Amino acid sequence: MESLNLIKNDPWLAPYKEAIEGRYQYVVNKEKNLTGNGRQTLSEMASGYLYFGLHKTKSGWVFREWAPNATAIYMIGTFNEWKKDDRYKLQRLGNGIWEIALAEGLLRHEDLFKLLVEWEGGCGERIPAWIRRVVQDENTKIFSAQVWNPEKPYVFKHKRFKPNVSPLLIYECHIGMASNEEKVGSYDEFRRMVLPRIAKEGYNAIQIMAIQEHPYYGSFGYHVSSFFAASSRFGTPEELKQLIDEAHSMGIAVIMDIVHSHAVKNEVEGLGRFDGSYTQYFLGGARREHPAWDSLCFDYGKNEVLHFLLSNCKFWLDEYKFDGFRFDGVTSMLYYSHGLGEAFCNYADYFNGHQDGDAIAYLTLANKLIHEVNKNAITIAEEVSGMPGLAAKYEDGGYGFDYRMAMNIPDYWIKTIKEKKDEDWHPSSIWWETTNRRADEKTISYAESHDQALVGDKTIIFRLIDADMYWHMQKDDHNFMVERGVALHKMIRLVTASTINGGYLNFMGNEFGQIREWSEAQEQDWMILKYPIHDAFHKYMVKLNDIYKKEKAFHYDYHRENFEWLDCHQEERCIYAIGRKTADHMIVGIFNFSDKEQEDYKLTIKGHHTGRTLLHTEWEQYGGTMKKRKENIHLKKKGKDSELTITLPRYSGVLLKLTKKE
């Protein structure tokens, strides 16, 4: 085999050539196995949702399920008083597949039903694995499958949509928590009330949590039970489709947070022991249960499971017109240890035999399939170990993701805020963490994760200001902790976003500094925008989005010739400067992380330039003390170069646009 580009592009991977090539060949062989040696395309193979589950036909209905361990299966529901009825008994077809054809009048739109599955030694009620609609009774809290066949199914107005990824600006959100009322929000409310706000703020993509049906909503959607059902807690399938369609009309891509790393343990609602066996969808023995998540781990080595998961990817693209996926828990999938207790200090840690080759094959095939179905689709990996090749092209020997989450960045900021004094915020450390990535893999940078808002941690703004948030947030109340906190918050956002390599993500509410923990039981804190400090920060975040969309220097991928550290020698002053270049201009970012004003800071730029200020964190409209255009910046010729002189207030940053003189 000719050496793969992944190895050619990184000589440090050469010692692991055999392992990398072996993984690649395993994927090639697995695809051949799944597609009948190429008799089908991967997309044609991954169409299980068109066969399994409940479907309306010209003469009535047909329902199919895969349950190899079952001895008998009955449909029970509101149509037969939830009792065994031979009219609703499925027939075995072979290969573990069961089928029933029903006359028109035996099922109606919104009928509730389950499967009664019998096996040797027992039986149980089950929600069909491929069902597209699951609802919960408000009184009993029992989940049931629901027949969904509306008279007027939603027809998409925008069938072809191409996301704008120059750069990708993502607004991560949770439908249920986005309401401005003390209740669970809906798809319809989000479409009408939140989408216009997102569009106005300049985001070109939303990433939606908790779409796949999940019985315990405190899991925030990460303990999935029904993989093909959009969560009914937020509304109907038609309402979700309308939300996506309207987002497309606004130029906003819709990315789904898809959970294929594990599944809920529930047996009645989920796949836990669907046909009476423990290993139908999941691993057996000690590997069956995830040791940290109280959930079940898929058997990625089983072709039927791959067919199920790959079909699930295609279904959401095809049926709902999602523009791609953020794959949750990729680290957990890649390693037998789920990444728990491993340090990942060197390349050998990625090729030491602790990796799950079947999971790697699934992820690679999933990416190949998704881009086969929609060449413009977006795939993002939530992965913390740093596995090389994760966001490299499949044909180069990579796993095919378009982006990987820069998970080190939010961890770094929180650790720094919690553990370090201001004078210990070293520029070299900040630079390393915000740019520590592979040149051939694009990333999504973000300052704080949804975990900080949802699971008992504190947001950046709360960490910085703490209790003073409650007492000193008035405009004329000059409190050092508040002023420092707001200034550093703006700085952290500016540094993080200025070093992007493909995209930037913000979790809802963080764009205006929401204080308390997010909750479905309470409204989203949009009302705090009436306070000048929060309003100013919100305007600042909107301006950042505007700059990153308009300035071409931020649209380039991360390469050393376009991205450099202009000043790395000011550790003691906590100052550093970066540059992002195009053919005719440069964006210069200068950051003062110290608590002291820095007068007459000088920076030499190669060539002769004219310049203007794009943004200053201390401008008055963004909560600072400086009148716009009063930042005291001077640019003059110095031989063949330009010398920039600037005075930097404490805890401040500035973005300059320097254009080459002819």
Residues with catalytic roles:
328, 382
Cα–Cα dist 602/592, whole Å = 13
Cα–Cα dist 406/501, whole Å = 10
Measuring CA to CA, which residue among 507, 528, 529, 527 is closest to residue 518? 507
Cα–Cα dist 439/442, whole Å = 8
Cα–Cα dist 213/119, whole Å = 26
Tokens representing residue 277 in the block: 């066996």
Give backbone dihedrals phi and psi of 652, rounded to 5 degrees, phi first: -140, 160
Cα–Cα dist 457/132, whole Å = 35
| Residue 281 and residue 271 in contact, taking contact as beta carbons nearer than 8 Å | yes
CA distances for 541 relative to 459, 510, 534, angstroms: 16, 9, 11
| Residue 593 and residue 574 in contact, taking contact as beta carbons nearer than 8 Å | yes
Which residues lie across from 112 on neighbouring strands? 146
Which residues lie across from 168 on neighbouring strands? 503
Reduced to 3 states (helix: H, G, I; strand: E, B; else coil), residue 558 is: coil
Q: How many beta carbons lie within 10 A of that of residue 516, not counting itself?
A: 14
Measuring CA to CA, which residue among 102, 99, 21, 113 is closest to residue 58? 102
| Residue 404 and residue 418 in contact, taking contact as beta carbons nearer than 8 Å | no
Cα–Cα dist 247/610, whole Å = 39
Tokens representing residue 620 in the block: 């008055």
